[in-house]
Amino acid sequence: QACANLQIYDPYYCQGGTKRRLGKLGFDHVHNENEDFYVVAKSENVTAFDVLVTNPPFSDAEHVTFALDFAISSGKPWLMILPVSFIFSDIFTRVEQVLGADGLRPFYVVPGKKYNFKTPAPLPPPPKIDRHHQARTRSRISHTLWVVQGGADKELHQRLLEVARSSFDEEGVEWAESVSELPKSALPGHFTKDMKRVAELQGLVLSD
């Protein structure tokens, strides 16, 4: 579909930045409204959409789990910013295994630099322990990546993979078809014992 006709849904509203930024790229139909996503999802009154593009809150794994469950059950293509550490969790491993069994395993796009997440003024700033030394008071620089999946349509999923293989040649932008192929720049600086266990299950070889 042409950009102007594509219906994009971002259920997590902050200050409307998603709609503004995607609009500048030519995407005119973006639903990102100040509404309670959890209430909307449970009421089954979700807006019609072609693709889900979102960044669920990282404050609690339940937010990320809910977003993933919603994305998968929708059957639509989805692109989601997730913390790198969450990729090495039992929750995400189960998600990947379920999708992989149907030949729909997600792939990963690694930004050239860490994203700077800004907390809106009405909310308290993030704790100092969560802030990078280069981040401003109301900001948090987080180690994240994009997880991309083509929905229930295997043909579309393969087309997205082909686009990834041929298009990500920008300086600093990398991609991986599986967790085991993630570049070193995408890996957490520290692996807990559980994260190491999950990494081994995912086939990722960690150097000592």
Task: Say what the pLDDT of residue 36 is.
Answer: 92
Structural element, H or E, at residue 21: helix 17-24
Over range 111-118, report the average pLDDT.
Answer: 72
CA distance 58 to 67: 11
Bridge partners (DSSP) listed for residue 9: 31, 52
CA distance 97 to 95: 5
Check pLDDT > 60 for residue 130.
Answer: no
- Lowest model confidence (mean pLDDT) among 45-54, 129-138, 156-165: 129-138
Percent of the chain with pLDDT over 70: 83
pTM of the shown model: 0.85
**11-61 pLDDT, tens digit each:** 998 777 888 889 888 899 999 999 999 999 999 889 999 999 999 988 788
